[in-house]
């Protein structure tokens, strides 16, 4: 694997530059090997083939950039499960991966080609490994989680609201409700979509209901009136998931922070403008999907150029789960992989900022 972040970023940038041309070339080669695809699906087979191959190369580039072979292996496992649940044979994904490595090798130097080949072979092996039964996430939930999940998947907005408010009124803290109920339920929603047990519409509905529930319970919790400092919290450009950073924003709010939560997919120039206008001491950046770490690196670089080291930067989200040390290579001050860790990170960087010694 390429060692320095600069080398990894250079190779990843080249892979992204080559992506479209190789996606088209690889798709044509696969269609020639499997002519029945065109007979069965028509031009959709070509269009989807190019899109999917480009997506694989995008994720490959991000795994190279992150220096994380495990990230690509996990991507291969996730994609295999997702496609198998929709009737696609795992061997076809492995074949596509190996075709990518062969196609790209002529455009890469020896060291980069070797790194890419290693990731691809590891991913292809995961595609053809013995399948593990996918356990329905509902089977590992406690009663409160299960009841809440059933409500949001059933479109029962009022029931979901009542479940959450009753838990708060019974003494459950907001951090526990968010971290031990809402967050794991949203993870379960993602798993259920992955295994084709629910639709995209079901997933979006469950997310919308949960955001409405958060707005309700947020008003029931007492705030800490002691001011803690100013925070800007955002998802990077291209990030579409905002429930996670929204949970963090609410928790910081009630702890006394003055929070500007910008949502997801915010242009970086606007994030930096918000930091300046809000006179923020801390910038929180969320990235859920690995290939969004490219944009996290970009915004951190811009923030450091504009504000220097006085601005503390906390990153978080599933994109950093397999290699949290990447956050420090990127120039962040702290990395939180779940709600509780994220809150601790904000507390710690604020203390450091006030007492550098």
Average pLDDT of adjacent 10-residue blocks, the chain of 357 residues: 86 96 94 87 92 96 94 94 86 92 94 94 86 74 97 97 95 93 95 93 96 92 85 93 93 94 95 97 95 94 96 95 94 94 91 58
Check residue 258 and give its pLDDT: 95
- What fold characterizes domain 137-218? 1.10.1240
The Cα 338–Cα 88 span in angstroms is 33
Residue 92, pLDDT score: 86
Question: In this structure, what is the dihedral angle of CA atoms 78, 81, 84, 89, given to the nearest 10 degrees?
Answer: 60
Reported in sequence order, the residue ranges of the chain that DSSP labels E, i.e. its strands, are 229-235, 257-261, 282-286, 312-316, 334-336
Level-2 CATH architecture, domain 5-127: Orthogonal Bundle (1.10)
Structure-token pair, residue 36: 């029945």
- Name the CATH code of domain 229-354 (choices 3.40.50.720, 3.40.50.280, 3.10.129.10, 3.40.30.10): 3.40.50.280
* Structure tokens that stand for 279 in this block: 């006179």
pLDDT (0 to 100) of residue 357: 46
- Sequence-separated contacts (24+) of 108-116 with Cβ below 8 Å: 108/11, 108/14, 111/2, 111/7, 112/2, 112/11, 112/14, 112/64, 115/1, 115/2, 115/11, 115/64, 116/11, 116/15, 116/60, 116/64
- Per-residue pLDDT, 58: 95
Rounded Cα distance, 286 and 296, in Å: 8
Q: In the chain, what are the domain boundaries? A: 5-127, 137-218, 229-354
- How far the first Cα of the chain sits from its last, in Å, is 37
The DSSP H or E segment spanning 164 is helix 157-169
Indicate the pTM of the whole model: 0.90
- Residue 260 near residue 293, CB atoms below 8 Å: no
Which residues make beta-bridge pairs with 175?
A: none
């Amino acid at each position: 694997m390429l060692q320095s972040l600069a080398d990894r970023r250079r190779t990843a940038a080249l892979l992204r530059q080559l992506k479209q041309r190789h996606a088209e070339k690889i798709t044509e080669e696969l269609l020639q090997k499997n002519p029945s695809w065109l007979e069965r699906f028509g031009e959709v087979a070509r269009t989807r083939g190019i899109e999917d191959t480009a997506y694989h190369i995008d994720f490959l580039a991000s795994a190279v950039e992150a220096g994380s072979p495990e990230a690509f292996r996990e991507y291969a496992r996730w994609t295999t499960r997702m496609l198998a649940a929709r009737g696609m044979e795992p061997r076809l994904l492995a074949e596509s991966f190996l075709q990518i490595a062969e196609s790209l090798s002529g455009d890469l130097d020896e060291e980069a080609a070797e790194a890419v080949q290693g990731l691809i072979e590891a991913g292809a092996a995961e595609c053809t490994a013995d399948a593990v039964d996918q356990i329905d996430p509902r089977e590992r939930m406690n009663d409160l989680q299960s009841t809440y999940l059933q409500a949001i998947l059933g479109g029962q907005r009022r029931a979901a609201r009542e479940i959450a408010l009753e838990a708060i009124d019974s003494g459950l803290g907001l951090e526990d409700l968010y971290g031990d109920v809402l967050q794991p339920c949203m993870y379960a929603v993602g798993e259920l979509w992955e295994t084709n047990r629910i639709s995209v519409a079901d997933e979006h509905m469950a997310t919308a209901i949960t955001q409405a529930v958060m707005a309700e319970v947020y008003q029931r919790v007492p705030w800490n009136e002691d001011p803690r400092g100013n925070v800007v919290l955002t998802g990077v450009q291209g990030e579409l998931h905002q429930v996670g950073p929204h949970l963090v924003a609410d928790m910081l709010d009630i702890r006394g922070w003055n929070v500007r939560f910008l949502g997801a997919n915010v242009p970086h120039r606007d994030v930096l403008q918000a930091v300046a206008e809000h006179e923020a001491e801390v910038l929180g950046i969320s990235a859920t999907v690995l290939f969004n770490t490219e944009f996290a690196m970009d915004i951190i670089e811009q923030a450091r150029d504009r504000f220097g080291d006085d601005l503390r930067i906390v990153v978080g989200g599933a994109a950093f789960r397999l290699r949290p040390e990447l956050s420090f290579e990127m120039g962040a001050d702290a990395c939180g992989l779940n709600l509780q860790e994220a809150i601790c990170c904000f507390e710690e960087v604020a203390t450091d900022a006030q007492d550098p010694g």
